[in-house]
Amino acid sequence: MLDPQPLEGKTALVTGGAARLGAMSARFLHAAGAHVVIHYRNSSEAARILAGELEARRPGSVTLLQGDLLDFGALPRLVARALEATGRLDILLNNASNYFPTPLESVTEAQWESLFGVNAKAPFFLSREAAPALRENRGCIINMVDIHAERPNPGYPVYSMAKAANAMMVKALALELAPEVRVNGVAPGAILWPEGAEGEQSKAHALPRIPLRRAGAPEQIARTVLFLATTDYVTGQIIAVDGGRSIQQ
């Protein structure tokens, strides 16, 4: 018989957890019984609303944590403050992401630093800071990767490269932190698009190239996150949730 709350008594830190895939993942982890530490940078209102929603279901089960992942010196403090919530940390979901185009002819060093900082540098050093607590509790790290870590997205070379580093991080840390800590990733495909004309154009371009011929939903990503948080014999793996897009020619 399946445990309806397999994460009861555990604590999960979700970076970029106030909106989009991070918020949905926080909901699923919370529903499974976890105390959820929701990190955000600027989305204070969305974080407050999400916390209220979850607290209404289980009072005292959410902690909000503001911070800029590009502030390297603040990363140890983020983990320390997350540990203060319950005195333990079992799951680190490196979900926060920067995403914007970087045409080769106009890309800047600042754009490089931003994309690699949030998508690769911060997850790596947050994982390092969290490792002692995760080892103590035989916890796990889950990275939000991207199918474009393997198949570059035209016009987004730096983002694609940063996510490729993120994907290699999953495999490297799975070896470095074994046997106590499991490290895995989720690679979303066509799930969410930017708002407006750009999003509609991207959607029209992507859907015919997906073998299942339909977009996915945030719930499908969150369900995969929950699977990786609760299984105990999977590590070093990246699960593509993309309707088959990554195998399409």
Please confirm, yes or no, whether 99 is among the known catalytic residues: no
pLDDT at 248: 78
The rounded percent of the chain whose pLDDT value lies above 70 is 94
Give the separation between CA 58 and CA 26, rounded to whole angstroms: 13
Give residue-wise pLDDT tens across range 196-230.
656 566 667 778 888 998 889 999 999 999 999 99
Domains and CATH numbers, the chain: 11-241 (3.40.50.720)
Catalytic residue among 40, 99, 156, 159: 159
pLDDT at 200: 64
Q: What is the pTM of this model?
A: 0.95
Q: Which segments in the chain show pLDDT lower than 70? A: 1-2, 193-203, 249
Residue ranges with strand state E in the chain: 11-14, 35-40, 62-66, 91-94, 140-144, 182-188, 238-241
Q: What is the mean pLDDT of the chain?
A: 94
pLDDT at 205: 73
pLDDT at 249: 63
